Amino acid sequence: ISQSNAWTVALQDVQRNLTGFYKCEVSADAPFFHTEIKSGLMIVVDLPEGDPSLFAEKQKYSLGEKIRANCSSRPSYPAANLTWFVNGLQGSTSCGNRSLAFVQVRCWEGKYSGGSKLKELL
């Protein structure tokens, strides 16, 4: 708070328990004592430490085979959003012979690890 002033509050070394609604109240002097209050939500995030990992059963597939792949994120809060792209196009759960499934697992210290599986018929 030492870097705070009359217009700005500076918080250092924030933790997730500081997530919440913050309120600023401004009051006028006599004789009116008019008060304005504004509030807003601040969310403290805990990003994954590292890139996601991608695993496929194999690197080469024949026409007609099913691709099975898994994308996983390291623990974070909130859970990371995982999105599949195939040849630059975003994956969809309702696209032809493609099947996507997302799994969110709670790990330690309130963090989440996400995983997404892709199955696609060539």
**Per-residue model confidence (pLDDT) at position 95:** 46
**CB-neighbour burial class of residue 24 (10 A; exposed 0-12, middle 13-18, buried 19+):** exposed
**Per-residue model confidence (pLDDT) at position 5:** 82
Q: Does residue 105 surpass a pLDDT of 80?
A: no
Q: Are 83 and 98 in contact (CB under 8 A)?
A: no
List pLDDT tens digits, range 92-103: 554 445 555 555
Locate the domains of the chain by residue range. Answer: 53-121
Mean pLDDT calculated for residue range 69-86 = 81
CATH number of 53-121: 2.60.40.10
- Residue 17 dihedral angles phi and psi, to the nearest 5°: -70, -5
Handedness of CA 30, 39, 5, 14 (dihedral sign): positive
**Per-residue model confidence (pLDDT) at position 94:** 47
List pLDDT tens digits, range 54-70: 888 888 878 777 777 88
